[in-house]
Structure 1
Amino acid sequence: MKLIQLHITKTVLYYITLVLLALLGLYTVIDFIAELEDIGRGQYFLIDIIYYTFLSAPKRIYELLPIAALIGSVLGLGQLSSQSELIVLRAAGISVIQISRSVVFSAILLMTVIFIIGEIIVPVTEKIAKEAQSSAKRGVSSKELDSSFWTRDGSSFIYIDSISPNQELNDITIYQFSPNQQLIGVMTAEKARYANKKLMLSRVIKNKINDAGITRTTLQSESLNAHFNPNTMMSPEFLSILELDNHIELLTENHQAVAKYQMVFWTRIMTPLSTAVMVFLAVPFVFGSLRTVSMGNRVVAASLVGIGFYLLNETLQHLSIVYHMTPWIVAVVPTMIFLFLGYRRVQRLDVGY
């Protein structure tokens, strides 16, 4: 049985790889053509587009792997079926569920791969890609990249104009409010660094506001307690699961909206499992009534299921933010629905084959 499992696993993974490479090539060309519209903007030239497209490939792989897993698994099992190998296995007394276990082994390997890509590779490559693209389009050095954002820290509201790749903060403005929401001070700083839950400000101007007027003080440096980490104040795709969890905790402590980050967090957790479910769903497409259907029709049917899964996921994610639905339930439900339907179908095939 181990040799059979290995043979099925190798075949399924081979076709998944082929489909993934085909989809990646297609989307890479599409992305490349889309970027050509901005060529000549600032210092954004052909070599920059190639570099950006190359660095964006890991994210594309991460996005495409679930659908590639489904189509590739259908092709792989379809190939075994067309060569009557699955029929021989069934005649030898091997059940559909046993064959499914071999397919699930392929899914476990894919779960490992997609977890590594999503948690280690994508956050790094996406950050580098966006920084390089922004730098070239603006025609400035990467130290001046525009990554401005607002955040809240207790009773203070903080604006940071940009964050350099070396994590130095530029042009910071801090608006300080009293408990009754009265503006009591404005502080500006040219540069700042975050370390040990403190903001180390340099070239600081402090403006204190009271009934007597405004008092201005100039300082070379100032240290402030910070209950947020500026290094995680970026788009969710740049953050790992651990960083997302820490960031959600900080936002919650400061009474800020966390729905978007929670949704990304749970989606990131479910993506490897979703990929495994897509592989498992290939089994019903090969056995049962579909065993006499052409390979092309199988692929079309699998693609429609994959698209349906994607659309259901996307729709629920957007609805969860609008209607304040529980993020983990929204992330889990589509995968569980498709897993249940696939398992029930496999059970029926095993009994009725």
Structure 2
Amino acid sequence: MMRDPAGLIAQLRAAWAKMVTPLDRYIAVAACRAFITVVAALTALFSLLEFVEQLASVGEGRYGLLNALTYVLLTAPSRVLQVTPVSMLLGCLFALGAFARNSELTALRSVGISESRIIGSVLKLAVPIVIVMFLLAEFVVPPAQELAQTQRAAALSSTESDQDDSSFWIQGDRQYLNVQHFDGTTVARNIDIYAFADDGSMTSFIHADRADIHSDRTWLLTDVLKKTIDGSQFENEHLATLPWHSFASAQQIQLLMLPPETMPPVALFHYVRELGRRNQQALRYEQELWRKISVPLSLVAMIMVAAPFVFGPPRGQSTGRQITIGAIVGIVFSLTQQIVGHLDLLLNLNPAAAALVPSLLLMALAVYLFRRAHR
């Protein structure tokens, strides 16, 4: 028997109202305002740096200032996701630091509200932030990134400088597919297809100047050179057209045109699982999947590490100094995550451990510093 959706929503709202008290809302609203301010500032800063980088391409083909500005605006949502964890830390430091300067923390503690209770109010803010981040990553970032790449490639189409932007490799059914350039999402150019036998020997090589991608996984190759290899014998064929059944669907091809970090989380999960069923390596995609999974843990770690730098600074140290030290810790943590991500690829580390361990270590550091501050 199906439940009434309206009634279920009403029950969820009632449960949320019981869980979130007026004190929670007061603290969370202050932290949320600081968080949004930091996100906007960091996103604007990195967008400005990206705009400066895009200026190097202005003048090539039909790529102008308006194209560069459009590209930066379309890729801004992905930068919002990138700066969210460190923005959470800075927002907590600024909001709770303002409470400390205004003696509000002292007033709250004087009426029996513990520091853990105050941090718990901020932790509840992580729930809606994670939901918003997921919605952005699933529904906003991928189409915006795809549109940005398509428009940029179209504006630069008269030059060779951007030909490699949409190039990628994909493996399946003992075949390797390399596409050098895409015109939109249904036309590929400069395609190489390598086919191998079970023993690893190459059986055929196909090069086509163009391919029209159909929804039934059929590619119509045009201006084709096909080489069939049988031992030491080579047989060359030049064909005007050649149908080829791809091992990847049109949707997968469209997603693989995007950088792994901008792929939708659900589609990324299904793609990694499919590669796992084929016993194919997908380290880069697994790394990105676990990075997305670790985001809620990173937010919690960032909130927790703010506590020891706001509550009870040692005598002789100002709250401002403590907040600055906390911000440095958060920035170092973000850099460490990026370094571990690169080491993951170089040293073939476990993607789950590489994504989760830094956040767990930061949480342990936060607990240690909090206890040390209250000895």
Measured against the shorter chain, the TM-score band is: 0.7 to 0.9
Out of 193, 203, 215, the residue aligned to residue 213 of structure 2 is: 193
Q: Is the 8 A contact 2:137 2:265 kept in 1?
A: no
Partner of residue 10, structure 1:
29
1:70 Cα offset (Å): 0.8
Measure how far apart 1:65 and its partner are: 1.5
Give the drift of 1:254: 5.4
SS at match of 2:193: strand
Q: CA deviation at 1:113?
A: 2.1
How far residue 343 of structure 1 moved from its aligned partner, in angstroms, is: 3.5
Question: How many angstroms apart in 1 are the aligned matches of 2:69 and 2:207?
Answer: 39
Instruction: Give the equivalent residue in structure 2 for 1:331.
Output: 355
Residue range with higher mean Cα deviation, 186-195 or 27-36: 186-195
Instruction: Write out aligned runs for 1:160-309 (5 A).
Output: 160-189=179-208, 190-193=210-213, 195-196=215-216, 198-203=217-222, 205=224, 206-210=226-230, 214=235, 216=237, 218=239, 220=241, 222-224=243-245, 226=247, 229-234=252-257, 235-252=259-276, 256-289=280-313, 293-294=317-318, 296-309=320-333
Q: CA deviation at 1:202?
A: 4.4
For residues 315 and 220 of structure 1, do their structure 2 counterparts lie closer, same or farther at Cα, with a shift above 3 Å needed? closer
Q: Percent identity of the aligned residues?
A: 25
8 Å Cα contact 1:146-1:163 kept in structure 2: no
Does residue 157 of structure 1 match 2:176? Answer: yes
Query: Which segments of 5 or more consecutive residues in structure 2 lack a partner in the other structure?
Result: 1-19
Letter of the 2:268 counterpart: L
Cα distance in 2 between the residues matched to 1:89 and 1:253: 55
Post-superposition offset of 1:335: 0.7
Distance in structure 2 (CA, Å) of the matches to 1:249 and 1:305: 35
Q: Between Structure 1 and Structure 2, how many residues are aligned?
A: 347
Structure 1: distance between partners of 2:93 and 2:183: 46
- CA drift of 1:328 comes to 0.2
- Matched residues in 2 for 1:225 and 1:39: separation? 37
Q: For residue 327 of structure 1, what is the amino acid of its counterpart?
A: P
1:168–1:192 CA contact under 8 A, matched in 2: yes
TM-score normalised to structure 2 length: 0.81
**Partners of 2:313 and 2:256 in 1: how far apart?**
52
Contact map agreement 1:69 1:275 (CA 8 A) in 2:
yes
Report deviation, 1:146: 5.4
TM-score calculated relative to the size of structure 1: 0.86
Please give the alpha-carbon distance, in whole angstroms, between the structure 2 residues aligned to 1:337 and 1:173.
45
The answer to whether the Cα contact below 8 Å between 1:145 and 1:163 also exists between their aligned partners in 2 is: no
Q: Which residue matches 1:133?
A: 152
Instruction: Tell me which of the two structures has the higher relative contact order, counting C-alpha pairs closer than 8 angstroms and 6 or more residues apart.
Output: 1
Tell me if structure 2 keeps the 8 A contact 1:81–1:286: yes
Once residues 319 and 109 of structure 1 are traced to their aligned partners in structure 2, the CA distance between those partners, rounded to angstroms, is 32
Amino acid at match of 2:102: Q
Change (3 A) 1:147 1:37: closer
Residue 302 of structure 1, CA deviation: 2.0
After the TM superposition, which residues 29-68 of structure 1 pair with which residues of structure 2 at under 5 Å, given as runs?
29-68=48-87
Find the aligned partners of 2:178 and 2:137 in 1 and give their Cα distance: 30
Secondary structure in structure 2 of the residue aligned to 1:288? coil
Is 1:104–1:279's contact at 8 Å kept on the other side of the alignment? Answer: yes
Aligned-pair CA distance for 1:6: 1.0
Q: What is the distance in 1 between the residues matched to 2:342 and 2:334?
A: 12
Partners of 1:266 and 1:291 lie apart in 2 by: 41
> 1:81 corresponds to which residue?
100
Q: Displacement of 1:91 after TM fit?
A: 0.8
8 Å Cα contact 2:227/2:234 also seen in 1: no
Quick one: distance in 1 between partners of 2:177 and 2:113? 64
In angstroms, what is the RMSD of aligned CA positions?
2.9
Q: Structure 2 vs 1, CA of residues 81 and 319 (structure 1 numbering), >3 Å: closer, same or farther?
A: same
Distance 1:194 1:249, change over 3 A: farther
List alignment gaps of at least 5 residues for structure 1. none
CA distance in 2, matches of 1:225, 1:23: 42
SS of equivalent to 1:101? helix
